[in-house]
């Protein structure tokens, strides 16, 4: 496919792909106070010599003072300071300049280096320091609990217990944060593979053909009746129930060959739901063992279901005829096969490169501007976070996927040209409502391939220089100045942003609800046998 291997000389060097620069630490730590002012310096481990914790210095001063039998007042007097000032220093609440540290060392008759020794002076001091640090951490701060004062009456055992709890809190937090990370990594890998394959999977197309042949479906829209025929052909009965656990689209009970479907929930096409369940069965899928398997299964199941609703042969003939007329349109594909616009757009990306030699991109974007799904093999550059994740990123305000929300006539197909740093792209978008709100579904291609599409005559054209922050991410300076200090928005976070995956399951399906559900609905026959044995 020449379309994929064409040269990319139009594309200037991508600054976003340069390795990180500016990550080097400035030498700020070398000047100023001895106990660096910033416990937040992330790279502290890089330069242990430069950063000494004021708390640790304070505790060493206190240890040395009590060792010498000096009271707080006596040492304070020797330093010509108020005892309260010295107490602040011993509690690590203030950084010391080198000169002060020298004076204190002299009064205590030790070397400065003794006070700078990174080892805590005693086991008790180590415990106290650890507790104070844990309480000063962002994790504990976020709980909005009062600090537990570290008093002499607090036993070592009590501090140890509290520290263990802090450690467990940290561990759980890290685990929770790491789980979506793994999912994102696998997701990025999958996207890469899809892009390389032109989002076309011959083996799945073949499976779709075989399954449809079993019910004698030769082309055109797949009716509800035929979907239920296919279920029957594969040995399943379908059961619409009002109490399907909310976290599941469908549940298959392979022991009684039942597929449970939600009754009257979801705007989704029920054919898709059934076909996805049947696809999982046809592909011999077991419950996934990890994220990688889960995401792969999801891609394959969605693909196979779409390939049955919009079969390859009929669809590719339909699209080729449209291309010959220069009338390619996702809408027409949707209407021809009576599917949702999103499914038609998804299917279009499967077939466009393999059958039409056209590289494409696909975007599903929430009305907030956040990317939900993305695919490309036309080298369009999607916004990504530092780790390369596309989902969850905000799309440029000038892209079709965002502009379509401003279009007044939603019956009409929206199309536009967008001049991007990597070249000019043409894009067509439509809004569909889903359970989570409104989403724009966009399909686009680079300028060279626009001539095959209906909507190429649009006069709407926008320029986008994203990821340059001046494109649409940085407000105008006069606005910033005008509103500075007088704005306090309360953010509405997406539930999914902070929601942890349910613990013990990465599939996102509530296992308790699922197993209770199955118990409730299971046919009674399989149970009678075991009842006899008891
Ligand atoms: Zn922008």
Same domain, 221 and 153: no
Separation of CA 270 and ligand 1 centre (Å)? 37
Strand order in the sheet with 414-420: 371-376, 361-366, 437-446, 423-434, 414-420, 461-463
Residue 235 falls inside a structural domain: yes
Same domain, 44 and 140: yes
Separation of CA 467 and ligand 1 centre (Å)? 7
**Whats the size of the chain, residue-wise?**
534
Same domain, 394 and 513: no
Separation of CA 398 and ligand 1 centre (Å)? 6
Separation of CA 370 and ligand 1 centre (Å)? 13
Residue 288 falls inside a structural domain: yes
Separation of CA 342 and ligand 1 centre (Å)? 24
Distances (CA, A) of 96 to 41, 82, 83, 196, 460: 18, 16, 16, 58, 63
Same domain, 157 and 244: no
- Residue keyed to tokens 């891609």: 299
Rounded Cα distance between 31 and 193, Å, is 50
Residue 360 falls inside a structural domain: yes
Same domain, 104 and 238: no
Separation of CA 8 and ligand 1 centre (Å)? 22
Confirm if 326 and 451 have CB atoms less than 8 A apart. yes
Ranges of H-type helices in 215-340: 224-233, 270-282, 291-309, 312-324, 330-337
Same domain, 371 and 448: yes
Separation of CA 473 and ligand 1 centre (Å)? 7
Separation of CA 263 and ligand 1 centre (Å)? 42
Residue 481 falls inside a structural domain: no
Residue 530 falls inside a structural domain: no
Label residue 210 exposed, middle or buried (CB < 10 Å: 0-12, 13-18, 19+): exposed
Query: What CATH number is associated with residue 270?
Result: 1.10.10.2910
Angle at 465 between CA 463 and CA 471, to 5 degrees: 95
What pLDDT does 520 receive?
83
Residue 450 falls inside a structural domain: yes
Separation of CA 472 and ligand 1 centre (Å)? 4
Same domain, 39 and 159: yes
Q: How many domains does the chain have?
A: 3
Same domain, 167 and 266: no
Separation of CA 475 and ligand 1 centre (Å)? 12
Rounded Cα distance between 258 and 521, Å, is 10
Structure tokens at 103: 């004076």
Separation of CA 372 and ligand 1 centre (Å)? 18
Same domain, 443 and 508: no
Residue 24 falls inside a structural domain: no
- Residue keyed to tokens 């709100």: 437
Separation of CA 382 and ligand 1 centre (Å)? 11
Same domain, 159 and 206: no
User: Per residue, what are the HEC states of 417-429?
Assistant: EEEECCEEEEEEE
Q: Is the pTM of this model over 0.85?
A: no
Separation of CA 466 and ligand 1 centre (Å)? 4
Same domain, 504 and 416: no
Rounded Cα distance between 148 and 134, Å, is 11
Separation of CA 187 and ligand 1 centre (Å)? 24
Q: Helix 270-282 and helix 202-214: axis angle, to 10°?
A: 110
Residue 49 falls inside a structural domain: yes
Query: What CATH number is associated with residue 159?
Result: 1.10.260.40
Per-residue pLDDT of the chain (534 residues; tens, 9 = 90+): 333 434 334 334 443 333 333 333 333 333 334 433 333 333 333 333 445 688 889 989 999 999 899 999 999 999 999 999 999 999 888 888 888 899 999 999 999 888 888 888 888 988 988 898 888 887 787 777 888 888 888 899 999 999 989 888 887 777 666 656 677 778 888 888 999 999 999 999 999 999 999 999 988 899 999 999 999 999 999 999 988 888 788 999 989 999 999 887 655 788 999 999 999 999 998 888 777 788 889 999 999 999 999 999 999 999 999 999 999 999 999 999 999 999 999 999 999 999 999 999 999 999 988 898 999 999 999 988 766 778 888 899 999 999 999 998 888 889 999 999 989 999 999 999 877 789 999 999 999 999 999 999 999 999 999 888 888 888 888 888 887 777 777 765 544 444 444 444 556 677 777 777 888 888 876 544 443 433
Q: Which domain holds residue 240?
A: 197-309+493-523
Distances (CA, A) of 365 to 109, 379, 442: 68, 19, 8
Same domain, 461 and 342: yes
């Amino acid at each position: 496919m020449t379309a994929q291997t064409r040269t990319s000389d139009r594309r200037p060097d991508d600054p976003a792909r340069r390795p990180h620069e500016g990550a080097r630490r400035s030498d700020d730590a070398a000047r100023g106070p001895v106990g660096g002012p910033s416990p937040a310096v992330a790279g502290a481990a890089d330069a242990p010599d430069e950063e000494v914790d004021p708390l640790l210095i304070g505790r060493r001063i206190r240890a040395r003072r009590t060792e010498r039998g000096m009271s707080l007042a006596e040492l304070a007097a020797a330093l010509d300071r108020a005892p309260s000032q010295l107490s602040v220093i011993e509690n690590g609440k203030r950084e010391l300049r080198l000169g002060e540290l020298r004076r204190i060392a002299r009064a205590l008759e030790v070397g400065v280096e003794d006070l700078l020794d990174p080892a805590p002076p005693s086991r008790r001091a180590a415990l106290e320091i650890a507790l104070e640090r844990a309480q000063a951490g962002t994790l504990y701060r976020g709980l909005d609990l009062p600090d537990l004062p570290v008093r002499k009456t607090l036993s070592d055992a009590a501090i140890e217990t509290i520290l263990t709890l802090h450690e467990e809190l940290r561990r759980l937090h890290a685990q929770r944060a790491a789980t979506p990370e793994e999912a994102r990594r696998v997701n990025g890998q999958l996207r890469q593979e899809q892009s390389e394959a032109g989002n076309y999977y011959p083996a799945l197309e073949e499976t779709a053909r075989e399954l449809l042949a079993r019910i004698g479906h030769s082309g055109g829209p797949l009716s509800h009746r035929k979907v239920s025929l296919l279920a029957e052909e594969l040995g399943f009965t379908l059961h619409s129930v009002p109490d399907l656990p909310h976290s599941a689209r469908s549940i298959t009970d392979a022991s009684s060959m039942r597929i449970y479907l939600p009754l009257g929930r979801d705007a989704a096409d029920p054919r898709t739901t059934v076909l996805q369940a049947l696809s999982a069965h046809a592909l011999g899928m077991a419950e996934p063992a990890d994220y990688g398997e889960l995401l792969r299964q999801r891609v394959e199941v969605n693909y196979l279901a779409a390939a049955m609703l919009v079969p390859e042969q009929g669809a590719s003939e339909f699209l080729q005829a449209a291309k010959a007329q220069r009338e390619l349109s996702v809408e027409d594909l949707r209407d021809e096969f009576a599917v949702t616009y999103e499914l038609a757009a998804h299917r279009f990306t499967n077939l466009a490169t393999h059958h039409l030699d056209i590289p494409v991109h696909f975007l599903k974007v929430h009305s907030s501007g956040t990317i939900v799904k993305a695919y490309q093999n036309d080298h369009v550059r999607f916004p990504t976070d530092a780790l390369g994740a596309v989902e969850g990123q905000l799309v440029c305000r000038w892209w079709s996927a965002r502009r379509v929300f401003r279009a007044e006539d939603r019956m009409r197909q929206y199309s536009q040209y967008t001049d991007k740093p990597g070249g000019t792209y043409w894009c067509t978008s439509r809004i569909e409502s889903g359970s989570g709100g409104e989403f724009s579904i966009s399909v686009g291609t680079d300028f060279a391939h626009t001539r095959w599409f209906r909507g190429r005559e649009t006069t709407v054209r926008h320029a986008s220089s994203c990821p340059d922050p001046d494109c649409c991410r940085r407000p105008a300076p006069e606005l910033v100045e005008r509103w500075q200090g007088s704005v306090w928005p309360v953010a509405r976070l997406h539930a999914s942003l902070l929601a942890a995956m349910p613990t013990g399951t990465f599939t996102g399906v509530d296992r308790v609800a699922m197993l209770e559900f199955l118990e409730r609905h299971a046919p009674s026959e399989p149970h009678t046998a075991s009842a006899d044995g008891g």
